[in-house]
């Protein structure tokens, strides 16, 4: 509490672009990164042994593609070093956790056939692991840059409607200009550069929701309309929910992207609950979801197909249900301990058993080779990431920041849940990526942004948050004394 | 009012929700990876199963002297396929084809030959830590290739079967069925279509393993089963005679108004067991069967392996004494059926393999050893041998000795020789019984012989069946004798 009892600055303070920068050691992060490095090196050696077996003589314990491994670990270390030099008091667990997931991704891409993805750059052909390494490096660099540079949330806080407009524009552009791949209109191409805007949209959605909800929170919490036993918010404030619902349905119909629609709507509901603490919203949202899902199932062919496959993939194991059945076979082959990296995924006529394994089914591949134990570990790492993000949100002393950080954590967590549950036949399969693990530039870069923003938001020291609006204790005491 | 507390509390709620959701994911993974793992992993369209069948080099199959019966070559794509150098062993070894699946030992020992599973669950779990988790086993059989080839050669162009068993251990030394087929042609991807079509549609149904799957009217060889049941149940002793037999030999034995007639060449008088076996008296064994009763007859047949599982390495069709739909003891319709069954007519159907077990039981002093083909499985982790094991004692040593004496007389006795010419092996005593299975209507009967040698210390038991081979004496008996001689010339020399 400041003695002068600050009361005025409702607008955020100006960013301090050039503050005194003093290096600050991050021992916890360093220790955890060391553990991560050991884990990845061990995994790489195990992969190399599996790939050389059984003919090669045991010449030594060399890692698979030592160059890739060195680059990746080097970049992780540089990210750590840069944050030490920047001297910010940011979270020290996020980077190692995400670094471990990225390392698992790199190992998986090393292990899969390299010709699954070939990008030609000049005269050199880059294979799956090469390309993924490039994206991983860029993603970590992006996260670190944001973690160091972002000293203010003003640019996010003040322009929420601009962001929303940008998001809607992006969505419309994808609707209209998007390229259709496998019956889904998800990709937007500009010359040689192409990407999946829905990945970026999820961040924009969180930024907008954090701004909107923090501004209208008191209204949403305090007023209510009673409909029977349920207490609902005032009807005008339901408009955003209905709008969000409509957008999600639009994504399902136009883009055929069930995963993104599910992700957006789930994150919206969870953030709405976070902001208001009112279960009534969740109930209402779930009712809307059930109605929407039912209508979509009746009216939209590809939704019905997906759901039917989910209900009984074994009805057509070599046709419609092939991908899901093969995924379940892969999990089953892994068993408790797994086949070991490089020991699974038997080829049929030289082809991998699961189509689109590197984007849609990395969890099935990891489930086979690392076993149930490995799956538990990976799910655990995601929980750590979620927990750190939510903790950053809970510790933020400002609604916008709290909702922003929670929302960013939720985007990662819910997305991981949706695709993992789809792989495990708990819910219908959707084509979204497994954060930090799936192959793909858009996904890795956007998740890099998420991590960078979370790190920046976790800073406990440099910029004080806007002071509370109620009068300070001294002022109250003074008033009481006066009254 | 901006109240700070509720946000962090609802964040905690959200965190709890996601933790529970991830717990559900872990439970889902556990369901597929542990609970459903066994049945999904062995599903026929699981790539692991397909890849194993395609890529894993199956273990070899060797005969008792190490001669190769099944091995593997690679085609132009580097994919392995099976080669079977010896056509005579196809009923035993079977085939393994990418398109047409597996048969024979290739089927019943598929898991061991591919080496994907280990009978020991602990070793199964630890296999994951080896660089190459598959450990294909080489099977060593008790089969003797020279004996097997001699049997197939001896059957010649006839359809038939030969089974030879070491009665002391239950080891099967020969298991022949003719006609044979070209298993290599089925296994080779280049010829699989024609190869399989030839085997499936060939004259005489080559894919039918007559030794284990063919069920035949036994005729007189079944009298040994009747003798075992009669002595074992105490219905008769080796010296029991039937006063009414003499007349019945002349006029036929009337059972419930049905007249059982003797075949030609049986003297008109009363006999004991050995004498009756020597002359193969239908009337005597009908009387014995009636005295023994249907319940005892089927019970002792079951002890010999009829209708049940003897734990053999190949599937065996169940042999039967009766259809079992009658309401008399043992399932017989009436005494007429029981009397006919007692000398091997009636509703009695047996496999040559089952009759070899009958001969082996008598030869081994009344104790039936578990029949087996695979004597050793050799893999990276060492060799596991299959030890001889007793299945059960059927009759006592003394009772078996009495039948042994009777079967010796059937081969060596002055009258028996007429029925079993050529069954004798120079330098030793042979025990045996011929059979002529009348099939009704026109056409030659099935020709049978079961026996063992040497009678005083049996080392090899045999059952021979030649479809439509004529009287036992004409075809099966000389073949059995020559194969016994081959055994002592090659295996036991």
The average pLDDT across B73-85 equals 85
CB B388 within 8 A of CB B412: no
Q: How far is residue A389's CA from residue A210's CA, in Å, rounded to a whole number?
A: 14
CB A153 within 8 A of CB A457: yes
Alpha carbon of A397: minimum distance to chain B alpha carbons (Å): 8
Q: Do A274 and B14 touch (CB under 8 A)?
A: yes
E strands of A52-167, at which residues? 119-121, 124-126
- Of residues B390 and B346, more confidence is placed in B390
Q: How far is residue A416's CA from residue A289's CA, in Å, rounded to a whole number?
A: 20
pLDDT score recorded for residue B127: 56
Q: How far is residue B462's CA from residue A80's CA, in Å, rounded to a whole number?
A: 82
Instruction: Provide the pLDDT confidence category of residue B64 given band limits of 50, 70 and 90.
Output: very high
Q: What is the DSSP letter of B425?
A: B
Label the pairing between strands A193-195 and A225-227: unpaired
Record the tokens describing residue B290, joined without a space: 């009636």
Neighbouring CB atoms inside 10 A of A423's CB total 31
Q: What is the DSSP letter of B390?
A: E
Q: Which residue carries 């709008």 as its tokens?
A: A243
CB B99 within 8 A of CB B20: no
Q: How far lies B258's CA from each of A418, B223, B416, B439, in Å?
A: 81, 20, 28, 19
Q: Which residue carries 């601009």 as its tokens?
A: A162
B229 closest CA partner among B278, B282, B289, B273: B289
Q: Which of residues 285-314 of B touch A (CB under 8 A)?
A: none
Query: What would the pLDDT profile of A198-252 be if each residue is shown by its tens digit?
Result: 788 889 989 988 988 888 877 777 766 666 666 666 666 677 767 777 887 787 7
The average pLDDT across B210-237 equals 94
Least confident of A51-65, A336-350, A403-417: A51-65
pLDDT score recorded for residue A472: 56
Q: Is A207 exposed, middle or buried (0-12, 13-18, 19+ CB in 10 A)?
A: buried
Query: What would the pLDDT profile of A428-437 be if each residue is shown by its tens digit?
Result: 988 889 999 9
Q: Is A143 exposed, middle or buried (0-12, 13-18, 19+ CB in 10 A)?
A: buried
Q: What is the DSSP letter of A184?
A: E
Query: What would the pLDDT profile of A111-158 be if each residue is shown by its tens digit?
Result: 998 888 877 777 788 888 999 999 999 999 999 999 998 888 888 888
Largest CA distance in chain B: 123
Residue of B2, B29, B55 lying closest to A399 (CB–CB): B2
Record the tokens describing residue B136, joined without a space: 């294909």
A214 closest CA partner among A157, A280, A267: A157
- Of residues A439 and A226, more confidence is placed in A439
Residue of B15, B28, B129 lying closest to A424 (CB–CB): B28
pLDDT score recorded for residue A398: 84
The average pLDDT across A386-394 equals 94
Judge whether A381 is closer than 8 Å to chain B, CB to CB.
no
Q: How far is residue A16's CA from residue A144's CA, in Å, rounded to a whole number?
A: 18
Residues 6+ apart with CB under 8 A from A452: A142, A143, A144, A145, A146, A147, A150
Q: Do A425 and B131 touch (CB under 8 A)?
A: no
Least confident of B78-82, B167-171, B418-422: B418-422
Find the distance separating the first CA and the last CA of chain B, reported in whole Å. 106
- DSSP character string of B190-244: TTHHHHHHHHHHSTT-TTS-TTTT--B--GGGGHHHHHHHHHHTTS--TT---TT
Query: What would the pLDDT profile of B1-60 be if each residue is shown by its tens digit?
Result: 344 456 888 999 999 999 999 999 999 999 999 888 877 876 667 777 667 666 778 889
Looking at chain A, how many residues does it have?
483
Instruction: Provide the pLDDT confidence category of residue A5 given band limits of 50, 70 and 90.
Output: very low
Residue of A273, A343, A426 lying closest to B14 (CB–CB): A273
Alpha carbon of A55: minimum distance to chain B alpha carbons (Å): 10
Looking at chain B, how many residues does it have?
493
C-alpha atoms less than 13 angstroms from C-alpha of A386 in its C-beta half-sphere: 28
pLDDT score recorded for residue B462: 96
A vs B, Cβ pairs < 8 A, gives 158
CB B165 within 8 A of CB B360: yes
Q: Which residues of A231-265 are buried (b: 16+ CB within 10 A; e: fewer)?
A: ebbeeebbebbeebbebbbebbbebbbbbbbbbbb
Q: Do A426 and B25 touch (CB under 8 A)?
A: yes
Cα B108 to chain centroid, rounded: 13
Record the tokens describing residue A8, joined without a space: 């005025």
B487 closest CA partner among B462, B463, B457: B462
The average pLDDT across B107-134 equals 65
A359 closest CA partner among A56, A105, A90, A55: A105
A233 closest CA partner among A184, A276, A295: A276
- Of residues A305 and A182, more confidence is placed in A305
Please report the sign of the dihedral spanned by the C-alpha atoms of residue B286, residue B291, residue B295, residue B300.
Answer: negative
pLDDT score recorded for residue A11: 46
Residues 6+ apart with CB under 8 A from A193: none
Mean pLDDT of chain B: 87
Least confident of A39-53, A93-107, A441-455, B399-413: A39-53
Task: Tell me the chain B residues in contact with residue A281 when contact means C-beta distances shorter than 8 Å.
Answer: none
CB B425 within 8 A of CB B455: no
pLDDT score recorded for residue A477: 66
Residue A174: pLDDT over 60? yes
Residue B181: pLDDT over 90? yes
């Amino acid at each position: 509490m400041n003695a002068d009892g600050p009361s005025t600055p409702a607008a955020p303070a100006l960013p301090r672009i050039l503050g005194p920068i003093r290096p600050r050691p991050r021992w916890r992060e360093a220790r955890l990164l060391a553990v991560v490095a050991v884990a990845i090196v061990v995994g790489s050696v195990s992969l190399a042994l599996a790939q050389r077996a059984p003919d090669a003589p045991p010449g030594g314990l060399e890692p698979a593609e030592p160059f890739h491994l060195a680059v990746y670990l080097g970049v992780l270390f540089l990210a750590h070093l840069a944050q030490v030099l920047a001297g910010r008091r940011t979270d020290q667990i996020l980077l190692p956790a995400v670094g471990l997931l990225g390392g698992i991704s790199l190992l998986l891409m090393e292990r899969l056939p390299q010709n699954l993805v070939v990008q030609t750059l000049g005269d050199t052909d880059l294979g799956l692991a090469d390309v993924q390494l490039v994206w991983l490096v860029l993603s970590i660099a992006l996260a670190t840059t944001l973690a160091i540079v972002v000293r203010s949330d003003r640019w996010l806080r003040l322009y929420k409607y601009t962001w929303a407009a940008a998001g809607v524009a992006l969505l419309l552009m994808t609707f209209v200009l998007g390229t259709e791949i496998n019956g889904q209109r998800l990709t937007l191409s500009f010359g040689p550069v192409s990407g999946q805007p829905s990945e970026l949209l999820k961040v924009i959605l969180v930024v907008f929701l954090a701004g909107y909800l923090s501004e209208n929170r008191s209204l949403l919490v305090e007023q209510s309309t009673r409909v029977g036993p349920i207490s609902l918010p005032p009807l005008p404030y339901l408009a955003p929910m209905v709008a969000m619902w409509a957008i999600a349905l639009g994504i399902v119909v136009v883009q055929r992207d069930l995963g993104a629609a599910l992700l957006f709507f789930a994150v919206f509901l969870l953030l709405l609950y976070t902001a208001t603490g009112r279960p009534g919203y969740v109930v209402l949202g779930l009712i809307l979801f059930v109605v929407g899902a039912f209508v979509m199932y009746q009216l939209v062919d590809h939704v019905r197909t997906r759901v039917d496959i989910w209900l009984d993939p074994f009805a057509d194991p070599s046709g419609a249900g092939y991908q899901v059945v093969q995924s379940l076979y892969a999990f089953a082959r892994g068993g408790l301990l797994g086949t070991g990296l490089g020991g699974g995924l038997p080829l049929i006529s030289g082809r991998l058993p699961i189509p689109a394994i590197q984007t849609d089914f990395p969890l099935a591949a990891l489930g086979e080779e690392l076993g149930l134990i490995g799956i538990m570990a990976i799910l655990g790492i995601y929980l750590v990431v979620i927990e750190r993000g939510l903790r950053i949100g809970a510790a933020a002393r400002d609604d916008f920041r709290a909702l922003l950080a929670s929302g960013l954590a939720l985007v990662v967590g819910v997305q991981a849940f949706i695709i993992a549950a789809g792989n495990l036949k708990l819910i219908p399969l959707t084509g979204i990526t497994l954060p930090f693990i799936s192959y793909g530039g858009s996904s890795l870069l956007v998740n890099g942004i998420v991590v960078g923003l979370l790190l920046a938001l976790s800073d406990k020291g440099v910029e004080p948050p806007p002071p509370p609006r109620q009068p300070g204790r001294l002022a109250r005491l003074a008033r009481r004394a006066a009254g | 009012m901006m109240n700070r507390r509720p946000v962090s509390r609802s964040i905690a709620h959200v965190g709890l929700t996601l933790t529970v959701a991830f717990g559900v994911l872990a439970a889902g993974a556990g369901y597929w990876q542990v609970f459903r793992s066994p049945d999904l992993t062995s599903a026929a369209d699981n790539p692991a199963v397909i890849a194993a069948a395609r890529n894993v080099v199956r273990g070899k199959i060797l005969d008792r002297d190490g001669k190769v019966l099944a091995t593997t070559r690679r085609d132009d794509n580097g994919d392995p396929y099976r080669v079977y150098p010896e056509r005579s062993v196809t009923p035993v070894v079977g085939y393994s084809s990418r398109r047409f699946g597996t048969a024979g030992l290739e089927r019943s020992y598929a898991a061991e030959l591919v080496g994907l599973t280990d009978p020991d669950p602990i070793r199964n779990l630890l296999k994951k830590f080896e660089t190459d988790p598959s450990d294909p086993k080489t099977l060593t059989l008790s089969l003797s290739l020279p004996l097997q080839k001699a049997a197939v050669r001896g059957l010649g162009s006839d359809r038939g079967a030969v089974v030879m068993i070491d009665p002391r251990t239950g080891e099967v030394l020969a298991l022949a069925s003719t006609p044979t087929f070209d298993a290599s042609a089925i296994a080779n991807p280049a010829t699989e279509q024609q190869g399989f079509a030839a085997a499936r549609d060939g004259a005489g149904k080559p894919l039918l393993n007559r030794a284990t799957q063919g069920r035949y009217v036994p005729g007189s060889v079944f009298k040994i089963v009747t003798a075992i049941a009669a002595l074992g149940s105490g219905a008769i002793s080796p010296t029991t005679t039937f006063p009414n037999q003499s007349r019945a030999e002349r006029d036929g034995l009337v059972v419930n108004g049905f007249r059982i007639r003797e075949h030609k060449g049986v003297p008109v008088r009363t006999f004991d067991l050995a004498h009756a076996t020597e002359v193969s008296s239908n009337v005597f064994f009908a009387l014995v069967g009636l005295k023994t009763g249907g319940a005892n007859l089927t019970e002792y047949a079951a002890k010999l392996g009829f209708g049940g599982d003897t734990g053999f390495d190949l599937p065996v069709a169940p042999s039967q004494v009766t259809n079992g739909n009658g309401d008399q003891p043992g399932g017989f319709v009436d005494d007429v059926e029981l009397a006919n069954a007692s000398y091997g007519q009636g509703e009695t159907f047996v496999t040559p393999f089952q009759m070899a077990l009958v001969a082996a039981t008598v030869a081994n002093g009344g104790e039936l050893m578990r029949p087996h083909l695979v004597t050793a499985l050799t893999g990276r982790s060492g060799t596991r041998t299959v030890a001889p094991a007793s299945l059960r004692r059927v009759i006592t040593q003394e009772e078996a000795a009495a039948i042994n004496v009777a079967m010796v007389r059937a081969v060596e006795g002055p009258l028996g020789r007429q029925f079993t010419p050529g069954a004798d092996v120079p330098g030793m005593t042979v025990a045996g019984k011929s059979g002529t299975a009348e099939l009704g209507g026109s056409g030659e009967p099935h020709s049978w012989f079961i026996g063992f040698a040497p009678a005083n210390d049996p080392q090899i038991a045999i059952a021979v069946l030649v479809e439509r081979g004529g009287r036992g004496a004409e075809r099966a008996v000389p073949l059995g004798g020559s194969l016994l001689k081959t055994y002592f010339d090659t295996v036991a020399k």
